[in-house]
A and B are shown apart, each in its own frame.
Chain A
Amino acid sequence: MMELTIPNQRVKLLGLDFGSTTSSALVAEASVTSNCITGRMEFGEPKIVFKSTSVFTPFIQQHIDEVAIAELIRQWLTQSGLDSIFAGGSIITGLAAQSRNAAAITKLVRELVGETVIATAQDPCLESWLAFMGSCSDLSRYHGDALILNLDIGGGTTNLALGKQGDVLQTGCYFIGARHFQFVPGGYQLIVASEYGLALLREFGIDKGAGETLSAEECEQIMNYYCQALEAIVQGESKFFATTLGKKHEQVAFSLAPDSPPPKITFSGGVGELIYQHMASEGLPNTTYYGDFGIDLARAIIASPILSRDLRDYVPENRGRATVYGLTLHSTEISGTTLFLPKPECLPLRDVPIVSKLPVTATFEQWLVALTLAMHREQGACVQIIGELGGLNDIRVLGQRIAQSLKQCAYPAHQPLVILVEANIGKVLGNYATDWTKSGLNVLVIDEIPIRDAHFVNIGRVHQQIVPISFFGLH
């Protein structure tokens, strides 16, 4: 007897991380499988099959070196022996994410890697989310009752994500990082400072520029500022950033709820890597070995009783590579297997705007408004349904309401309308919404997709009865 099962094929996932300081690539292999506990489809038994060395992101002054980046991507693809990519992500962060740079990298990624990988830039909340998922996702489920605040400190930014039981609850981003000052390695002779670095020098009355050496006191002043800023964030003291200097450093504000219990603090990113390296008694490299403040910042954090309070008991994974792990293993969601997909040939759908998020109880008028918005997106649009449906009657009512709204606004038959739902009701909702397919509309109901507060979604081709989904443009 033939059972409705999914063959357990392995797929390849790719992550590319272009940061202010370093860039790296990761390739994982996983099965697309149903979790034997939750029943949800997931990437099972992920295994890293290629991990590039972290290389300095190639810049020519402030601009990305496109030729070198292209060569880097080609090299990674060759080294990893990647023949086909099921899904993946590429993120461009910090200094590399300046608009001209980002556009160049995005174009290169699309040309060289293909359409299955999303390429995003200047998406600080996505970056925070990815870093948390790459470093603390499992740890936060292990400590199920604890709130975990991960600080991903790289060259340009500190990306914060507060999470619990594997879910990110809140994100933020500050221009605090190792590479706002670049030095000649081995000392503090300044090569260049970013605009945020320059602002700090001005604030502290340090009138020094390229070629000049910062004194120990001056370095300490800067480290103190960074530490105080981080301490303020983790303690929910938002007034620290009320000053002009503070405001300048705040890209996306992060404020802990006043009644929130103190979160457990973890670190990732390049500075996080150094912190845990030191905690494992592996020592730290020599002064400004990397030509920036990374080592100093790590030491300052370890010396802060507030920031270092959980370093021993809450040890995250992947640290320096948290973002690229997050990208590779967590940036793609997998739909359920019983999705409603009358015209599978319309896939993949890229950059589909999420035009509306409607509660399950949304009225006919609300649906009409949402669908009218969606109709203006000829390439397809998406509506997310939020909340839990009670039972069969609720689904019937919702399906019929969608059917009436589609009819009322004369929704074009060819135009894809993507409906995302969390519950496993894709097929039944799609059937009721299209009068058991008789309406002929290209309505896609993709189920078992966790709600993400995003602006866009990409939907990949059908593979073993599922589709891969990636969100970007996170709030």
Chain B
Amino acid sequence: MKTLTNLAQIKLPNPKPATPYSIKLHDRECTFRDLKHLLGAADISKAGDRKADLAAEDEVMREAARAMLSGLTLQHLFDHPLTTHQGVMDSVMHVNYDINHTVFAEIATFTLGELKDHLLRASGERIRLIGTALTGVMVAALTKLLDIHELVYLAKKLKKGAAAKARTVVGLPGTLSSRLQPNHPTDSLSGITMLMYTGLSTGSGDAIFGLNPAIDTVANISATLHHLDKIRRDTGAPTQICVLSHIKTQLACLEDGAPVEIMFQSLAGTERTLTDEFDVTVELLDHAFLTMQAQGALGKTAENFMYFETGQGSELTYGKHEGIDMATTEALCYGLARRYSPFMVNNVTGFIGPETHLDNHEMIYSCLQDHFMGKMLGLPMGMAPCYTLHSQITLEGQQMATELLTAAGANFFMDVYLGADRMLAYFDTSGHDDQTLREIYDLKPAPEFLAWAISRGIFEQDEHGQVRRGVNWGNPRIFCHSDSEFQRLQESVPAIYGFENAGPRPSNRVSRTMKSNQAIGREAIYANLRPAEISGIALRELHTAAATKIEHLSDPELGSRLAEEALKQLNPEPFTVQILISDGLSAEAIHHNIPDLLPVLLDGLAGHNISAGQPILAPYGRVKLSESVGDALQPSVVITLIGERPGGDALASRSMSAYLAYRLPNHGYEYTVISNIYMGGLPPIEGGSVIVEKVRAILHHQAAGNRLESLMQVDVIV
């Protein structure tokens, strides 16, 4: 049975003051402020590192950094831990030093350049052994020296030995597994069932049934855990289940008797991010591990029972990266994950958006780095190369990443039905993708699952052991008792476009529908506001601090305030309400809704004698822009009408929200939001009327948000 190293017994170096690193490359003298900057500069240029001022300014500086790193010994890296801004080692860094000192003693004098060459000449077993002697920072530094082929080649060598065992074994050589991710916008059990059946029919789910819940309450997580468990039992699929809620919620569910087979948690590579943003400490993780070891639903069957998710950039997004670059903080996550010998680690680089990874190149490279770094640190790495529509990452880039990661031996990918996550509004791999990759690279699902899938006609195997798609591949109807049940289930899931397949791919008709929806969504984000289409009502146009669309998408803070010259034009006005219109993340939402909504809103305000200033149009804005406008004009309520981030549904990409910001008498704002204003949700004409009623309620109760709701004693206000 695995035991956790006592934290006090981990041998730590004494942090030293930061010192600069200099090197002359050809005739150029290159200096890096400290180890953090050296590590940042040695990576390819990525949006997050550029924003943090860590990326190399040019190719020469990058190569200089790599040359500099190549000459540093592992002992040097051991002796120079990366610290917080206060100069101390945080708990994540601390755990990273839990290494195999016997092996480290053998390699401590290797420079990183020598280590790289050594690894490229070594066997998989040797590489794996060396990995046990490295901290996350050492692996990150090594990774900066590797090109694409090397990242793939070394990771591929690490496939053997990267398997883990819960109820079943996942990650064996010759396999490519998948996490079936049946996310549903409302956690509808029917919807989850439909997505499960769909995934199972394509041979997905051998790694795990893993649901990201929409509602993180003990009651809901328990209910969904029981539901996944029921589906697993009913179908007989040999796999494991998990609902990816907060670790505290899962512990409470376990206490209540829910089938917590695998314990999930998102990790971060700095303590401040881990504790402040994810509400997790190393002590809590230890507690969860020990609780699962003693009481987990799989009992002693499971050798591994923790599941972690990571992805480059979360520390940076929260502004808590301690001056460390994205790849290195990611490696620090892995050094933390290693402590718990997890069953799965899943990397979701690309999920956050353009503030961390702007385009395909950045995302693909980061994914290959992360996969290698995780495997090098002994983790059973699965990958979820993914994207949101407001980045410039595309389906094609994501598919290139999956091809390369399969070549590199990734343990598993996601199965998000048709690639569009219906709850998280992002794009990931699909069951079709997973099967296509299995066929291209001659891979199979995990052995026990494969046997089950053959018994259900999902796969068939010939006398030579060759596995092919079976007659039932891609037909979720096989899991339903009747046509009526199948119909009910289908009607509970948005964006189902039919089940016709062409080989391992969706039929062209289905693919075209998906892609056209994405195209509409993408266009909605990248389109600029066209004031002439917005309304016949005169608007005053003001600018935010974001000068361009790209700035607006890459840096949310810029759209949260008016530009200085705009602010100079504004003085307090004597109106109760100020209407503010901005594109946010969908200009098309504004074009499609404002012409109907604004006249009703103005009619209603006038009908109730509520005075309103001339509506403002501010391109490239965010919700917090309300406060910039509110501070300047000083109305009681700012009504901000703003486009929502599009997902995979064409109609919904025209969805707008109304944020009603009540300006508190002393300081600050309270918000009430009315969302989903579009023709498929709350129609804009009706939306205008609903906003009027909410504004009246806010003014009447002098409150918004939770405080307003608690003050309102009736369900319907007129």
Contacts and interface: CB of A to CB of B under 8 A. Distances in A.
A437 interface: yes
- Which size bracket describes the interface of B in this complex? 35 or more
B686 interface: yes
A430 B690 CA distance: 12
Nearest to A4: B674
Interface string B603-646: 11001100000000000000000000000000000000000000
Contact of A2 (B485, B671, B692): B671
Nearest to A316: B484
Contacts of B186: 8, 33-34, 36
A4 B690 contact: yes
A317 B482 CA distance: 8
A1 B718 contact: no
B682 interface: yes
A436 B609 CA distance: 11
Interface in A302-321: 315-317
Interface in B627-682: 659, 671-676, 680-682
Contacts of A35: 491
B359 interface: no
B483 A36 contact: no
Contact of A427 (B596, B603, B686): B686
B398 to A, nearest CB: 25
B686 A338 contact: yes
Contacts of A2: 671-673, 704-706, 708-709
Contact of B484 (A142, A425, A430): A142
A138 B485 CA distance: 7
Most A C-beta atoms less than 10 A away, residue of B186, B675, B709, B716: B716
Interface size class of A (residues with CB under 8 A): 35 or more
B545 to A, nearest CB: 23
B715 A45 contact: no
A435 interface: yes
A36 B494 contact: yes
B217 to A, nearest CB: 11
B317 interface: no
Contact of B718 (A141, A142, A341): A341
Interface string B481-497: 01111111001111000
B671 to A, nearest CB: 4
B274 to A, nearest CB: 25
Given A1-B673, A431-B604, A462-B715, A425 B683 contact: yes
Specify which of B483, B603, B676, B714 lies most central, judged by the most chain A CB atoms within 10 Å of its CB: B483
A438 B714 CA distance: 20
Interface stretch (B114-122, B188-196, B306-314): B188-196
B494 A37 contact: yes
A341 B716 contact: yes
Nearest to A39: B681
A37 B491 contact: yes
Interface in A371-428: 391-392, 395, 423-428
B174 interface: no
B693 interface: yes
A335 to B, nearest CB: 11
Contacts of A423: 683
A200 interface: no
Contacts of B714: 344
A340 interface: yes
B706 A426 contact: no
Contacts of A435: 607
B117 to A, nearest CB: 55
Contacts of A437: 718
B161 interface: no
A465 interface: yes
A430 B685 CA distance: 12
Given A36-B185, A44-B188, A392-B600, A436 B688 contact: no
B685 A431 contact: no
Given A39-B680, A392-B596, A437-B718, A428 B686 contact: yes
Interface in B698-718: 704-706, 708-709, 714-716, 718
Among B671, B674, B683, B704, residue most surrounded by chain A Cβ atoms (within 10 Å): B683
Contacts of A138: 483-485, 487-488
B599 interface: yes
B682 A424 contact: yes
A342 interface: yes
Contacts of A142: 483-484, 486-487
A313 to B, nearest CB: 9
Contact of B685 (A34, A143, A342, A395): A395
A116 B188 CA distance: 27
A274 B107 CA distance: 80
Contacts of B683: 423-425
Contacts of A431: 604, 607, 689, 692
B37 interface: no
Interface string A43-78: 011000000000000000000000000000000000
B184 interface: yes
Nearest to A33: B186
Contacts of B600: 392, 428
A374 B509 CA distance: 52
A1 B672 CA distance: 6
B210 to A, nearest CB: 20
B444 to A, nearest CB: 33
A1 B607 CA distance: 27
A39 B484 CA distance: 21
A428 B685 contact: yes
A344 B673 contact: no
B343 to A, nearest CB: 31
A395 B492 CA distance: 32
A63 to B, nearest CB: 38
B192 to A, nearest CB: 11
B716 A339 contact: yes
B491 A338 contact: no
A464 interface: yes
A341 B714 CA distance: 12
Interface in A123-161: 137-139, 141-143
A141 B494 contact: no
A344 B716 CA distance: 8
Contacts of B674: 3-4
Interface string A444-466: 00010000000000000011110
A436 B659 CA distance: 22
Nearest to B191: A36
A149 B715 CA distance: 42
Interface in A252-295: none
A463 B714 CA distance: 10
A3 B675 contact: yes
A143 B477 CA distance: 14
Given A138-B488, A344-B716, A465-B715, A436 B608 contact: yes
Contacts of B485: 138
Interface string A190-203: 00000000000000
A36 B604 contact: no
A110 to B, nearest CB: 26
Given A338-B686, A339-B716, A431-B607, A36 B672 contact: no
B483 A143 contact: yes
Contact of B671 (A1, A45, A137, A425): A1
Given A33-B186, A342-B718, A436-B607, 20 more contacts: A2-B673, A4-B675, A4-B694, A36-B184, A36-B191, A37-B492, A39-B681, A138-B488, A139-B483, A141-B491, A316-B484, A317-B482, A338-B690, A340-B718, A391-B596, A391-B685, A392-B599, A427-B693, A428-B686, A436-B603
22 contacts: A1-B659, A1-B673, A3-B673, A3-B674, A3-B675, A4-B694, A36-B494, A138-B483, A138-B487, A139-B487, A317-B484, A338-B682, A338-B689, A344-B715, A392-B599, A425-B686, A428-B600, A428-B685, A428-B689, A435-B607, A447-B686, A463-B715
Counting from the closest, the 5 A-B pairs by CB-CB distance are A436-B607, A138-B484, A142-B487, A428-B689, A427-B689
